[in-house]
Structure 1
């Protein structure tokens, strides 16, 4: 493939006694990706003695802070403020028939935001596999993470200038920010096998998700305070929204400094050592310089072809694709269900979003504890049962009764964070050593780039029945099918087949 530069699995994770097939370095993840072998510094990867538990914990704490940094974008920008605001800006620029004309193409103003999100997904699909391959080939994940994070944060901060009829500016910034977030998450997730022992990953991944949800809730409370009390602060409602959008970019950029200071790169066999500058990617400069968007498609095809050699890993990814499609659709369509079917106002919906954010922290940490006792697979299966019951209960919610909608939001929050966190940590055990970023690019595509079947089914159900209740309950099929597919994955055998040590509980 051109990306498998490590050869055979690396050092053992359970005591450091296994053979180090890469000259004693970690080799971008080694066997199961623990922090064994590469004792590099913040200035660049270098071979040395295995770091102790304290150093590993330090990296883990730094890693959590990227979730803390970037989750604000997902919560405040995408979920709450940008969609309605950008739609209004597009309507201000529309012609008499309600159309805007980006690049000369007539687009209904009310559809512009959705099309911009779709364009960002397409760009991410092109770029993620390419970046993942470069990261694995060179071992230089950190400078690539910095580039993606600050490109996204800068685009988000630039949304302050989204005013008047500048809809095209808003669309471009949205595409850049959304695609940058997806690319940065590939690199961020690929650090997990390197900074956590196999038995730690469920807890570490869960804490990362908890940090993200806590951050999103905290900033959303502040943003809503500014938005609701904009007159008290002496600013217009439009200016309040622009400040909320820009503050998310500033937050993202500021807290990204923490993981960039604490995470360290690992040298890959065959990659040139970095220079004294520490931040430049010297080992893969030729690769990066010759990369193109077309290579993204070729790399994705090569990654999927390589996955055929690991059919059990592919089985898990298929199960995740199905049930995560249901999760993402519930998240994106819950507000439509609440407003159109239950007749709830915007304030009620925003409070429900906050409730989900807060309880997702509790859920992520609680399910991380359950995974330590029962294993990640069993805990995820239990969460899918809870998802099925919760979505099914949505069919029976009475209209005009916020308390029952809050109860539904609470149930979603409790299973949301944990099911996402444990899916990530379980997948990290199934990734062949040295291909962390490459395989996590496929995982991220399953998370962000392929979740379209759920919205399609939701829309078709509503079109055929005229009822959002029938539409929401139709999503139960994703959780049932996902449960069946995941239950059929022999996880312990899949971990061993990927060349990784099998944890006591998984």
Structure 2
């Protein structure tokens, strides 16, 4: 298909607009606050009974994220291999999208009495979101030329930030002024917010679903799809082993993503649990992160054009090290806001740049982009599983989230060292000189 088509590119970016409300409302803002309040023990302690176990709500939240992404990491590689082999990439993307969106809608029924099924719905929403993202990301090298990867990737993240802020502002208006909407139940606005996330996600996803190509089978229709999927996956793995710089990047990406994504999932809980900040302060923090994130995405796209992708990523990881140090010593709301602004500046930028850097590293003319991106996605999901598990375990053993932050700091330092070992001006495809990274 014709690359750099403005209609197709903008439609692709609209999936960021559609799905990012999940990351903002469900993962980062309203749901964690509602979850912490709803999961409180009858005695008022921050512990809850989950399947017979007494566990802190913040630890349960972290472990739910870990388990959900573990499921995704196991399922997605096979799905992407089958998608490439059969040409059904868009179909798989739609399946995971609807799974996540409908799970969000189901959270409308989240109360103290429905805690256990709601935890499972939260986990399924994460599976749906993360599963759809791998197919979404895999379209980038298919719809754009390499010189536009950084710019289009940043545009997608920026649209995601903007769209999610718009929906969050509407949801906040219900939470802060329920009487204006004729709502008397204090818990109802938050539950309606969860439903609107699923509705928003499904409705705006129809734009990319309409314009993105369905995909072309890379194999003849013979044999079992699942068996062919395993063969496809094994073939991609063999190709990855022939590309040392791609393997080095995935290793570094795995390490620093442990820190990045863990911060995304636990930042609100840190403010609520460790700093005892009120809900309004936490929501303001999340809005700051989103708005600054728009600037950050484009800043890192510009920076990569100036000093190269690897050096730009090293700058981002270095800032994350400073963020961890700042968060460890944070005790006041204003300090928390300052750290949040720094998080917003690098959060979207480093994710956007990681996606575009990987797009540059995969073979230029491959038709198996979904399978290649499955390795990227699995690396990211296992990183999330590992990071959130480490964070939750350190808190469980020491009783303090601040010690967990120190563990993340060490992770970022290791990631920076690994990035520094990757050539920063040129990459090589199958031993041949390639393009700038």
Q: Is 1:412 equivalent to 2:343 in the alignment?
A: yes
Distance in 1 of aligned mates of 2:18 and 2:424: 32
Q: 1:61 to 1:93 in 2, by over 3 A?
A: farther
2:93–2:132 Cα contact (<8 Å) kept: yes
Q: 1:156 to 1:498 in 2, by over 3 A?
A: farther
- Residue 300 of structure 1 and its aligned partner are, at CA, apart by 6.6
2:19–2:129 Cα contact (<8 Å) kept: yes
Partner in structure 2 of residue 6 of structure 1: none
Aligned partner (choices 304, 310, 319) of residue 371 of structure 1: 304
Partner in structure 2 of residue 424 of structure 1: 355
Q: Deviation per CA, 1:198-241, whole angstroms, max 9, x where unpaired?
A: 11001111111111111222211211111122233222122212
Aligned partner (choices 426, 430, 434) of residue 502 of structure 1: 434
Structure 1 regions of 5+ residues with no counterpart? 1-37, 39-50, 272-282
1:26-425 aligned within 5 A: 38=1, 51=2, 53=4, 56-86=5-35, 99-101=49-51, 106-108=52-54, 110=57, 113-163=61-111, 165-235=113-183, 236-271=185-220, 286-287=224-225, 304=237, 306-397=239-330, 399=331, 401-425=332-356
2:311–2:424 Cα contact (<8 Å) kept: no
Q: 1:176 to 1:455 in 2, by over 3 A?
A: closer
Distance in 2 of aligned mates of 1:52 and 1:308: 29
Distance in 1 of aligned mates of 2:219 and 2:268: 51
- Residue 168 of structure 1 and its aligned partner are, at CA, apart by 3.9
Between 1:429-438 and 1:457-466, the stretch displaced more is: 457-466
Q: 1:52 to 1:187 in 2, by over 3 A?
A: closer
Distance in 2 of aligned mates of 1:453 and 1:171: 20
Distance in 2 of aligned mates of 1:88 and 1:373: 46
Aligned partner (choices 421, 425, 428) of residue 488 of structure 1: 421
- Residue 331 of structure 1 and its aligned partner are, at CA, apart by 2.5
- Output the TM-score relative to the length of structure 2: 0.87
Distance in 1 of aligned mates of 2:212 and 2:249: 28
Distance in 2 of aligned mates of 1:354 and 1:381: 26
- Residue 338 of structure 1 and its aligned partner are, at CA, apart by 3.1
Between 1:338-347 and 1:429-438, the stretch displaced more is: 338-347
Which has more helix, going by share of residues? Answer: 2
1:87–1:112 Cα contact (<8 Å) kept: no
Q: Deviation per CA, 1:266-317, whole angstroms, max 9, x where unpaired?
A: 424444xxxxxxxxxxx699516x79xxx88x98777545532323211100
- Residue 384 of structure 1 and its aligned partner are, at CA, apart by 1.5
Equivalent position SS for 1:99: strand
Partner in structure 2 of residue 42 of structure 1: none
- Residue 475 of structure 1 and its aligned partner are, at CA, apart by 2.3
Distance in 2 of aligned mates of 1:285 and 1:498: 34
Between 1:374-383 and 1:413-422, the stretch displaced more is: 374-383
Q: Alpha carbon RMSD of aligned pairs, Å?
A: 3.1
Structure with bigger gyration radius: 1
Structure 2 regions of 5+ residues with no counterpart? none
Distance in 1 of aligned mates of 2:269 and 2:89: 39
